[in-house]
Structure 1
Amino acid sequence: MVADEIEDVLLTHPMIADAAVVGVHIGGRQSEDEYPRAYVVSIDNNPSGTDERKLIKFVANKLASFKTLRGGVVFVERIPRNSSGKILRQSLVERATIEVVANSKDAEV
């Protein structure tokens, strides 16, 4: 699975404590193109040690081009997980959908 590979690479970054990757439809739900978007927790919840562009480049240098983070990187305080530690991806997909819709409305203004 592509998301797992990207997460594994992100977790090798010295400033990243946790990561989850989900697919996001940049053109909205009807778009056929789905792009990887990373949700990351920085060490000590302090993203000042890195930024979105640096993380995108970090992943791009280690994986095939179709596995790049074209859906972006979002810094979060924690990755949602169930009681056994499994990532709650559906929660992140819903969040990504809301973010994409909000960003597209901002772009129209």
Structure 2
Amino acid sequence: MPPVFTERQERAITLLHHASAALNREPCTAADIEEAVDHATQALRLADNDNGIKSVANIILGGCHENQDKWNLAYYEYKAAREQCEARWTNELEQTFQYCLCKVFPRE
């Protein structure tokens, strides 16, 4: 039996697909990144208690903030995503998170 989603969850998932599509345009422009940020932020607001949707939205937002050189925001987006989906956190995501950590809190 397929999972049953609420209307809010379905809208959030649709917004995440739109955010991903905006980031996959070639070439990806600043306007595309802003569009992805808008869609992912709206999805995050609609996620309610769905940690899967929240984590995907936070990962998309983290990537957008990296592209904008907003390392502090990227770090906290990835940190939130890691807390929400710890069981599915990959080595690649951990490396990205650690890179942002070094950018935000450089060693002296």
TM-score w.r.t. length of structure 1: 0.39
Higher RCO (CA-CA < 8 Å; seq separation 6+): 1
Higher strand residue share: 1
Higher helix residue share: 2
TM-score w.r.t. length of structure 2: 0.39
